[in-house]
């Protein structure tokens, strides 16, 4: 777990040790020590909330530069459908896709095409009763990672299908191999990504041995070059091959609507997602067959590496979908194996557990409660932990000391002062 | 070494939306202790149902939780109207919940039957006009 890759990184020079990211992190994965933020690797789900909130831009997502596609003989772009919501007055997806060709890609395979295949495969598996209900979507890697570290009982409910990004990369590779006869090593497949969680997914996949994606370029990074290329197109090539089902995956509710049933629920925004997972775990949510969860508000258009306001992007996607056919990609039965998970989702119990030894854990919890009672319960974050309870846990684990709490320190100084005063 | 962790929560009777706070807090602690996941789920569901009952029927009360290495013991105590006919209350589908509560999806008459289903031992002490005490035990195979 320690060598686990994270796409969210800290620029220590820009970090001033304020508590913005500390308070915002949904998994309490950040601590501030010696005036700098540190990410607890085993708890971070790469949702990107800290990047969003940091006023000093000290958190950034590791992604690839456009130049890096040059290492490959054949350069393939697999754009996320969220990309299509980033442009004003866009009425034709092909303008974006031809723009991608103009900035250097040889071949384009929209992730929305794969999304239509995943939707069809899901419907098929549901119809054949092969899944544990309610089925939780596996498309958002931040959500899957969250389930993996915090919701052990729900691991079996996550849909065992690869996310559209991964399926798109596999399909694109196959098409390019068949078309050109090239070997896989010569083909570079780059995801045009709205979020850091996808970058992490490429580097340490949740459910496949090795990702078929070679790298990821942030939408925000590509944006200036791409818009410029789009403004100077001489002809618009007919590249787009996805319908409204695939493009709809860009926004919250799109994937669920593609189930073509009405017993579904779609939640977006990481806090809402956590609430739904908690209730699912306690079996409060019944009568729902399919659950779509997106870590970002609005869905993928709300990703921290996008450019446009998610709700504006959502309105644009809605408009773009209007004249599209329902679906342009259909599942070939023999491809289903290719789309299934290569490995089971493994629950990682270590992230929130106090100790492997039960008696020791109980002892630690007992001490934690005692320490907590002595703390001011302000959850101010000044000690470097997000809450007084987290601070108590850090003290018990030997990672913090009581006087890291400025209120406790003040008390201590006051008592020393009083003592001195009395002796004089 | 400590071999029992004791927790105490007040269950607020006037705010329906706060029901589930105690069970949520207990769940979090059991996860941190590394308890068997099935046991955690059973404790969380049984406690939640009991909390909801307290809010619907008894205007709140308190709950005491003792976490032992091999079991979790829960007492839920209220000063509500008491249960006139316990056997009837244990029947699936029997409910005296008011309509406004049913509109929220509760009061389906599955509260006590569900609590029984998810716990290894359940004991009800109830007295009309005095209140109800519910003793629950969930065995844990850690």
Check pLDDT > 50 for residue B96: yes
The nearest alpha carbon in chain A to B44 belongs to: A282
pLDDT of residue A368: 94
pLDDT of residue A285: 87
Check pLDDT > 90 for residue B113: no
Check pLDDT > 60 for residue B1: no
pLDDT of residue A347: 83
pLDDT of residue A2: 42
Closest residue by Cα to residue A155 from A164, A144, A166, A163: A144
Residue A153 to residue B67, Cβ atoms within 8 A: no
**Structural tokens at position A45:** 């789900």
pLDDT of residue A351: 81
For B75-84, the pLDDT digits (tens) are: 999 988 998 8
Residue A358 to residue B33, Cβ atoms within 8 A: yes
pLDDT of residue A1: 37
Residue of A27, A282, A396 to mutate, interface with B, max B Cβ within 10 Å: A282
For A215-250, the pLDDT digits (tens) are: 999 999 999 999 999 999 999 999 999 999 999 999
Closest residue by Cα to residue A289 from A301, A280, A302: A280
Give A8's strand partners: A61
Residue A359 to residue B37, Cβ atoms within 8 A: no
Regions in chain A scoring below 70 on pLDDT? 1-4
Determine the distance in angstroms separating the CA of B130 from the nearest CA of chain A, rounded to an integer: 30
The CATH classification number of B5-139 equals 3.30.565.10
* Cβ neighbourhood burial of A104 (10 Å; 0-12, 13-18, 19+): middle
Sheet holding A290-294, edge to edge: A135-136, A290-294, A264-268
Residue B67 to residue A369, Cβ atoms within 8 A: no
Please name the member of B23, B29, B142 whose beta carbon is closest to the beta carbon of A365. Answer: B29
Query: CA of A197: how far to CAs of A159, A200, A294, in Å?
Result: 18, 5, 11
pLDDT band of residue B109 (cuts 50, 70, 90) is low
Contacts of A342 (CB under 8 A, 6+ apart): A207, A208, A209
Residue B69 to residue A362, Cβ atoms within 8 A: yes
Q: Given CB atoms, is B44 within the 8 Å cutoff of chain A?
A: yes
Check pLDDT > 90 for residue B12: no
- Domains of chain A in sequence order: 1-62 (3.30.70.20), 66-339 (no CATH), 353-424 (1.10.15.40)
pTM listed for this prediction: 0.90
Q: Phi and psi (nearest 5°) for A292?
A: -100, 130
């Amino acid at each position: 777990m320690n060598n686990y890759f994270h796409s969210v990184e800290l620029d220590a020079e820009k970090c001033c040790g304020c508590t913005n990211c500390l308070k915002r992190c949904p998994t309490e994965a950040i601590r501030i020590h010696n005036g700098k933020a540190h990410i607890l690797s085993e708890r971070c789900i790469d949702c990107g909330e800290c990047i969003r909130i940091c006023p000093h831009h000290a958190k950034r997502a590791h992604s690839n530069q456009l130049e890096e596609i040059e290492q490959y003989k054949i350069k393939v772009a697999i754009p996320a459908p969220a990309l299509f919501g980033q442009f004003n007055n866009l009425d034709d997806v092909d303008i974006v896709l031809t723009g991608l060709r103009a900035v250097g890609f040889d071949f384009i395979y929209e992730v929305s095409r794969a999304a239509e295949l995943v939707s069809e495969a899901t419907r098929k598996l549901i119809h054949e009763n092969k899944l544990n209900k309610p089925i939780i979507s596996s498309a958002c890697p931040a959500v899957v990672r969250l389930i993996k570290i915090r919701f052990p009982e729900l691991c079996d409910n996550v849909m065992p299908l690869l996310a559209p990004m991964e399926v798109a990369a596999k399909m694109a590779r196959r098409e390019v191999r068949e078309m050109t006869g090239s070997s896989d090593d010569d083909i570079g497949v780059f995801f045009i990504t709205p979020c850091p969680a996808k970058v992490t997914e490429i580097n340490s996949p949740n459910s496949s041995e090795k990702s078929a994606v070679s790298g990821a370029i942030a939408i925000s990074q590509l944006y200036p070059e791409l818009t410029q290329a789009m403004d100077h197109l001489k002809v618009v090539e007919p590249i787009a091959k996805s319908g409204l089902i695939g493009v709809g995956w860009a926004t919250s509710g799109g994937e669920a609507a593609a189930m073509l049933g009405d017993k579904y629920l779609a939640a977006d925004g990481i806090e809402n997602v956590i609430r739904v997972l908690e209730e699912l775990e306690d079996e409060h949510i019944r009568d729902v067959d399919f659950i779509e969860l997106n870590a970002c508000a609005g869905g993928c258009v709300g990703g921290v590496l996008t450019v446009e306001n998610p709700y504006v992007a959502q309105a644009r996607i809605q408009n773009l979908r209007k004249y599209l056919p329902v679906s342009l990609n259909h599942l070939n039965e023999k491809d289903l194996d290719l789309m299934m998970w290569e490995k089971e989702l493994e629950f990682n119990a270590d992230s929130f557990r106090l100790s492997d030894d039960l008696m020791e854990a109980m002892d630690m919890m007992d001490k934690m409660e005692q320490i907590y009672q002595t703390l001011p319960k302000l959850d101010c974050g000044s000690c470097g932990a997000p809450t007084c309870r987290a601070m108590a846990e850090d003290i018990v684990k030997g990672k913090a000391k009581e006087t890291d709490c400025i209120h406790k320190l003040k008390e201590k100084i006051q008592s020393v002062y009083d003592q001195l005063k009395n002796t004089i | 070494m400590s071999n029992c962790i004791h927790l105490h929560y007040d269950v607020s009777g006037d705010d329906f939306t706060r029901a589930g706070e105690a069970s949520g807090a207990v769940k979090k602690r059991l996860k941190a202790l590394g308890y068997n996941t099935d046991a955690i789920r059973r404790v969380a569901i049984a406690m939640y149902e009991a909390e909801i009952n307290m809010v619907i029927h008894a205007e709140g009360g308190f709950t005491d939780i003792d976490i032992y290495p091999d079991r979790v013991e829960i007492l839920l105590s209220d000063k509500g109207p008491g249960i006139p006919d316990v056997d009837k209350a244990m029947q699936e589908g029997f409910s005296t919940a008011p309509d406004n509560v049913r509109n929220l999806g509760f009061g389906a008459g599955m509260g006590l039957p569900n609590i029984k289903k998810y716990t290894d031992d359940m004991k009800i002490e109830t007295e009309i006009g005095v209140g109800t005490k519910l003793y629950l035990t969930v065995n844990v195979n850690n």
